[in-house]
Amino acid sequence: MDMDDMMSFNATSAENATANDANAFSGSGGYAPPVAHVDPFAAAGPPVSAGYADAFSGMSGAESTAAPKEMTPLREWEIQHEQDLEESAQKECRDKEERRQSAAEALNIFQQERVEGNVKRRSMNRADEETAQKTKEAIVRENPWERVADLIDSSARPVDAEAHDTSRMRSLLIQLKSDPVRTHTA
């Protein structure tokens, strides 16, 4: 069966069709359906079973994983190098696990110290707050400069040359504490 028979189209009918019609395939020499009694799969042969078939069963070849018969110096070095790499990888895994465990221990210690420090800091803050409250209530006396003098750090000194000298103000406040200014009451 050749191409001309399949489509019933040949050069002479195409020339006639173009002469008679603007569309070459719609005219008298166009496509003709195949004859109904012809089986298009007759030449295909008998069907093959749909079971498993190894796609590479027909290939022949030597096993590529077979070890060479003699040990060359290169092959000995490759084997030794593979062993060294495996040992170093195992050592690295062990070291990594040890570092992970020591980091977990250090983290636990840090967390415990942080919690203990927070508890200690809270208790110190509470104690300081209580003493400050007691002194605040006790200081309400007739000399208000005593309270101001208690708030002054008398041991503080300027840190650097550019800091302002506050020693005169400090000495003035201490003097007012010891000898308060008398106001005239009528």
Looking at residue 73, its pLDDT comes to: 92
Q: pLDDT value at position 165?
A: 77
Q: How far apart are CA 170 and CA 153, in angstroms?
A: 9
Distance CA(87)–CA(93), nearest Å, equals 10
Low-confidence residues of the chain: pLDDT under 50: 14, 17
**φ, ψ of residue 55 in degrees (nearest 5):** -70, -25
> Cα(143)–Cα(153) distance, rounded to whole angstroms?
19
pLDDT of residue 57: 73
Q: What is the pLDDT of residue 111?
A: 97
Q: Measured between alpha carbons, how far is 34 from 31 in angstroms, rounded to an integer?
A: 9
pLDDT of residue 125: 95
pLDDT recorded at residue 23 = 55
**Measured torsion, CA atoms of residues 134, 135, 136, 139, in degrees rounded to the nearest 10:** 130
Q: Which amino acid is at 20?
A: N
- Report the SS3 class of residue 120: helix
Instruction: Say whether 140 sits in a helix, a strand or coil.
Output: coil
In this prediction, residue 185 carries a pLDDT of 59
3-25 confidence digits (pLDDT tens): 555 555 555 554 554 555 555 55
How far is 102 from 94, CA to CA, in rounded Å?
Answer: 12
